[in-house]
Chain A
Amino acid sequence: MTRTRTPGISRRSTLALMGAGAISVAAPWVARAQAKTIKIGMPTILSGRVAQLGTSSRNAVMLEVDKVNAAGGLAGRQIEMVIRDSKGQPQEAARVARELVNTDGCEWLIDGEASSGSFAVHEVARDLGVLCVHTCSEASSLTADPKQHIPNAFRCVRQGIHDSIVGGSYAASISKAKGLKKWATCSPDYAYGRDTTGEFTLYLKRFAPDVEIISESWPKLFQPDYTEVVTKILQAKPQALYSCLWGGDLTSYIDQANIYAMFGQMEVFAVNMADYTALTVVKNLPKGIHSGNRYIKSFPSTPENAAWGDAYKAKYNEYPTNWSWQNATAVMFLSEAAKKANSTDGKKIAEVLKGLTIKCPFGADGTVTMRGDDHTLVGYAIGWGTTIPQEPYVPEVKAGDWKTIFELEAEWKKSKGYI
């Protein structure tokens, strides 16, 4: 028998492939025709080292969106989330955000990007004029710097400066009570680590002027071995240590410092400890580490917060993260704003969002506010407490005082030339 077909791709299959390609390119336009639903785009980090945080953001958004949809949607329109991975690269975040708006027909953006990615998405929002809520970037300058300000972008995230003020005043009170004068710091060597540590020590010294920093360590981000850092700190013999290491870096650091019994020799203040991603991963969580709250079911100690944490755990079989509550709050804000505006028009929603106060399980007094003048979240539960090795991990959290935060934040803004 002779072969009649030459090997390789036939003309027919080429045509079929081209047809399939054309359909996949045309699909978004077909989808746009279904305008009854409102599409909200969300670029976030679903792969790489911080994928767990991005996934927890997606989970929280979906948890809240399902509730909104079950209650009739936004001004009568069901929400359809379009969530895509940006790999944590700013150029991808910008591309994905543009694609979500321009091709997929998303009317709003929830920006689940951290650090540089959030600034890249912010520029897309500036360019396209689309309503955008940042839900993960803690960099204060994103909303504090007037150069960044655009009328259509909001930030529904805790902020580095707020954490530093509360942390500084808490640490100062412990410092005075226990006579901790010699301090060491150990934070990751990049902007977040340097800025947060600088601000923390600034406020610590302000509230406890006799404190002295006797040793500083700046391990690299994602550094695997902390032996050198731990021994350096032990040699300096400080009475207290501050660290803003986070995630895997913090857990490796604690596991390695445990070998040297470091936690028995000094008071440790680790702002990012009280997050389930760190608490549940550390092998032997030392008792008595002071930490800021990231997300913890027991703070604020209200039935609403506990119920939310349990609902999340029941659905996803893991505890929420700091990014989770922020994303959930963003959906709550958008839903409330749509109700008030009785519309899904981005401009109207932006107007309503300014200064909007909503009931929220994560509020210091049961409510949170989107501050009108700089479009940023305030009034969220913020505080410090000490760890125990088992649940609830941080049994008691001392809440920060928002009046003090506002005063010192305004001062800080002035010193930066922002106001």
Chain B
Amino acid sequence: MTELEAGRVRTLVPARNGAVLQRYRDVLIALIAFAVLASLPLFTGSKALLDFVIRCSAYGLFATSLNLLVGYTGLTSFGHGMFFGLGAYSFGLIMQKLGVPIPVAFVATLAITAVIAAVIGAICVRLKDIYFAFVTLAFQMLIHSTILSWASFTGGDQGLRGGIPRPAFLGINLANHVHLYVASCALLILGLLAMRQIAQSPFGYTLRMIRDNAARASFLGIDVWRAKLTVFVLAALFAAMGGMVMALFVSGAYPEFAYWTISGEGIFINMLGGVSTFLGPMVGTVLLLLLNDTVTRFTEYHGIVLGVVILFFALGLRKGLLDFVAEWFSHRRNTGEGR
């Protein structure tokens, strides 16, 4: 080893240690979050609260996976909802038609999603900006139309009827509300942790570089197409996980899950929560669902209220809530240091 190389190793080792430390920290935070969420049923008998967290898990996984594309890679997908729908339908259909154990259906759904996402992604990620957005939207409409017209298989516009069977496995009975709740929390935390690892890995930083300057990344020898395709497929997998949680929650799958409005909600959640922090979409999910659930209790004119909220975030804060808070903190710290 030359002196120069030895010097490099010395600087790399602390950096690697830092990354390992951060990973441990993330795992620890995830464990604590799971412990807090999973113990919630011990303190409250509120089924509505548990329902709320289950829905947060479904939408949270979906919105955070969309942020892998939008926030980290700069790929604004208008059709990400197709994977949410695909997850719900694949899982529901496998459970209804084949009656396999839930984990098998879960893995099979991820496999199906990966294959379809790879095919769609291979076509879409070659395109940039608005072209990418609209081609993803077109694919979403294709999947939505397929669900509608293939009525003998998918139930058409009435959805998958008759309930999704939920046989017990390994002592977990998802027909039981608390079991479903804990399982949803576990999927959410595992999903978030996995996405966090992806975002913080060298691959995650490659994505950021592609977002900021794809040409430079390409000149540095990065296969931009392959990196984009990989993240497109990964994001689809987590969106499908969200779809499966939703299918379990409503015990069915409906064409609305694959409609463009779901993608729209995903983008709205990202706008609400912010795209420059990892947990931004999760904060956005909680905000949107809270807003939705509270406002619809009092009025059917919820559209107006949500519209005003969008205006507030777009014109008032000019960014998502967590982005705003993060900037405010860093601004405060900087001015504090300056004193």
Q: Which residues of A contact B (CB under 8 A)?
A: 24, 28, 46-47, 51, 84-85, 87, 89-92, 94-96, 98-99, 102-103, 115-116, 119-120, 122-123, 126-127, 139, 141, 145, 147-148, 190-192, 194
CB neighbours (8 Å) of A85 from chain B are 296, 300, 302
Q: B163 and A123: CB pair below 8 A?
A: yes
Q: How far is the CA of A116 from the CA of B158 in the complex (A)?
A: 4
Distance (Å) between the CB of B12 and the closest chain A CB? Answer: 42
Which chain A residue shows the least CB distance to B299?
Answer: A85
Q: A116 and B256: CB pair below 8 A?
A: yes
The answer to whether residues A95 and B256 also contact, given A90-B250, A115-B158, A141-B158 and a CB cut-off of 8 A, is no
* Chain B at the A interface: SS class: helix
Q: How far is the CA of A293 from the CA of B302 in the complex (A)?
A: 34
* Chain A at the B interface: SS class: helix
**Segment with Cβ contacts to A, from B17-25, B43-51, B113-121:** B43-51
Q: Which residues of B contact A (CB under 8 A)?
A: 46-48, 51, 55, 148, 151, 156-159, 161-163, 246, 249-252, 254-257, 261, 293-294, 296-297, 300-303
Which chain B residue shows the least CB distance to A96?
Answer: B296
Given A95-B55, A123-B252, A145-B161; 5 other pairs, CB 8 A cutoff: A91-B246, A95-B51, A102-B46, A119-B159, A147-B161
CB neighbours (8 Å) of A94 from chain B are 249-250
Q: How far is the CA of A147 from the CA of B164 in the complex (A)?
A: 12
Q: How far is the CA of A51 from the CA of B301 in the complex (A)?
A: 11
CB neighbours (8 Å) of A123 from chain B are 163, 250-252
Q: B48 and A91: CB pair below 8 A?
A: no
Q: A119 and B51: CB pair below 8 A?
A: no
Distance (Å) between the CB of A89 and the closest chain B CB? Answer: 5
The answer to whether residues A102 and B250 also contact, given A47-B303, A85-B302 and a CB cut-off of 8 A, is no
Instruction: Select the residue from A91, A98, A119 with max chain B CB neighbours within 10 A.
Output: A91
CB neighbours (8 Å) of B162 from chain A are 145, 147-148
The answer to whether residues A116 and B48 also contact, given A148-B162, A191-B151, A191-B157 and a CB cut-off of 8 A, is no
Q: A24 and B294: CB pair below 8 A?
A: yes
Distance (Å) between the CB of A245 and the closest chain B CB? Answer: 15
Which chain B residue shows the least CB distance to A93?
Answer: B250
CB neighbours (8 Å) of A139 from chain B are 158
Q: How far is the CA of A96 from the CA of B296 in the complex (A)?
A: 9
Q: How far is the CA of A9 from the CA of B158 in the complex (A)?
A: 47
Of the candidates B251, B302, B303, the one whose C-beta lies within 8 Å of that of A126 is B251
CB neighbours (8 Å) of B148 from chain A are 190-191
Q: A116 and B157: CB pair below 8 A?
A: yes
Q: B47 and A148: CB pair below 8 A?
A: no
Query: What 3 pairs across the A-B complex have the smallest Cβ distances?
Result: A191-B156, A46-B300, A102-B47
CB neighbours (8 Å) of B293 from chain A are 95, 99
CB neighbours (8 Å) of B297 from chain A are 84
CB neighbours (8 Å) of A99 from chain B are 48, 51, 293
Distance (Å) between the CB of A54 and the closest chain B CB? Answer: 8
Q: How far is the CA of A148 from the CA of B294 in the complex (A)?
A: 32
Which chain A residue shows the least CB distance to B177?
Answer: A127
